[in-house]
Amino acid sequence: MLDVHIVWFLLAGSALLAMTVLPRFFSDRPLSLPIVYVAAGAALFWMSEQLIGPTPLRSTSDSMLIEVVTELVVIISLAGVGLKLERRPGLASWGSVWRLLAITMPLTIGATVLLGWWWLGLGLAPAILLGAVLAPTDPVLASDVQVGPPGSEDRDEVRFTLTAEAGLNDGLAFPFTYLALGVASAGSFGAAAGSWVMIDVGYRIVAGLAAGWLLGRALAWFARHSGEHLRSDTAEGLFSLGSILLVYGITEAIEGYGFIAVFVAALTREHDDQHRKRMHTFTRQFEAIMLALVLIGFGALIGDGILAMLRWRDLAVALALVFLVRPLTGMIGLVGSPVHRWERSAIAFFGIRGMGSIYYLSYAFNEGDFASEAMETLWAITSLTIVISVAVHGVTATPFMSRLDQRLQRNDQTGRATGATSIEDPSTRPSTPT
């Protein structure tokens, strides 16, 4: 019988090799890579007695491993998202994004907290944690509904808004995670509210934004003056990874939000289009490697029985989040927006959940003092929500985006024939009824 670590090598090698073939196979089909990898991981670890997957509720070391690995894959993905976005931030040009962050995300958190407290009977702290964990959309698993690499042509409002939202709301969910930890430690919301507003909401967000901008500009200047030293693939890859980790590490060292800083730093890279493209290529490759392993590991979590503790009430919450809470709060957030109604529906629906939720939950599990029964419920609901999101959004993303491209092409042709303004930037569109 093969040693377990040899089986893991075989499994990892197969997963990485499949990453070179499967994306092309699934490119025009209503199926996505995450579905296949999660299903494969779940099946393998469910059928095999020899393979042992991560067990965060029973092993502290496994929980720490899950936290570190998901943290790394989210960091790399956020950098890749920032490098893809080429629209300059502004009140009008990013209007849909600000609406989702300022209206939709708080409403989603509030609705989820209410479901956790009233429907599931959770305490206030775990209910807040459930809202924080399940509120952010995922930059890792949402590539099917995001903009393409720098310089690509798929710059429509749906893809742009979903991409930018995923880039920012992962960091903006952290204050609510800290609120849950504070309430769990202090015993009440009032006792935790003061320091939370001043430090976790105020200082940490400002520090993340400022550090990201300053470090991004400094690294851009360094790259611009490095001449031929960054022209080899190896040097550019090392510089890209080093830049991402340095920005994250410095920001976390000053107790700012590193997720925000990494995204903002990548967003500032404007000095050289070709260099930006090469940086994105490297981050995308590194992310693909991490993603293959993480998805297999998440499948292993499912196969090892993380969903076995689910109650029907938990299932109802997971379904409500995907099919009711996010679509409804998304539409509320976009009321009055110049974005067309059918685009609003798409933006509201494709609130994909993924590895960011696993990271926040494992972080809180490792740092906080929550009742074991509550954490079992949170792990089960979070895992089920991700499974539902991966399946539903994975199946619908390809056909919808194909229809979106066809519709945009028809609108573009009509606009050229009539002399109308392009609909790519909502600030240039005529308003449509809400």
- Looking at the domain assignment, is residue 2 inside a domain? no
Q: What is the CATH number of the domain that holds 136?
A: 1.20.1530.20
- Looking at the domain assignment, is residue 5 inside a domain? no
Domain that holds residue 401: 14-428
- Looking at the domain assignment, is residue 203 inside a domain? yes
- Looking at the domain assignment, is residue 157 inside a domain? yes
Q: Is 30 helix (H, G, I), strand (E, B) or coil?
A: coil
How many Cα atoms within 13 Å fall on the side-chain side of residue 331? 11
- Looking at the domain assignment, is residue 61 inside a domain? yes
- Looking at the domain assignment, is residue 200 inside a domain? yes
Q: Please report the pLDDT score of residue 250 as a whole number.
A: 97
User: Tokens 């290529």, residue?
Assistant: 281
Given a contact cutoff of 8 angstroms between Cβ atoms, the answer to whether 304 and 58 are in contact is no
Number of domains the chain is built from: 1
Q: Please report the pLDDT score of residue 424 as a whole number.
A: 46
Q: Please report the pLDDT score of residue 6 as a whole number.
A: 79
- Looking at the domain assignment, is residue 8 inside a domain? no
DSSP-derived secondary structure letter, 432: -
Amino acid at 67: E
Average pLDDT, 10 consecutive residues per value, the chain (434 residues): 72 83 71 84 81 79 92 94 88 93 96 96 95 92 80 76 92 94 87 89 96 93 70 73 94 96 88 71 86 89 88 95 96 91 90 92 93 93 95 87 78 61 44 40
DSSP-derived secondary structure letter, 226: S
How many Cα atoms within 13 Å fall on the side-chain side of residue 305? 9
- Please choose, from the candidates 54, 77, 1, the residue with its C-alpha nearest in 3D space to the C-alpha of residue 286: 77
Q: Is 1 helix (H, G, I), strand (E, B) or coil?
A: coil
Could you give the dihedral angle defined by the CA atoms of residues 91, 144, 322 and 109, in that order, rounded to the nearest 10 degrees?
-40
Q: Is 359 helix (H, G, I), strand (E, B) or coil?
A: helix
Residue count (the chain): 434
Helices (H), 225-257: 233-253
Q: Please report the pLDDT score of residue 289 as a whole number.
A: 87
Element (H, E) at 33: helix 33-47
- Looking at the domain assignment, is residue 64 inside a domain? yes
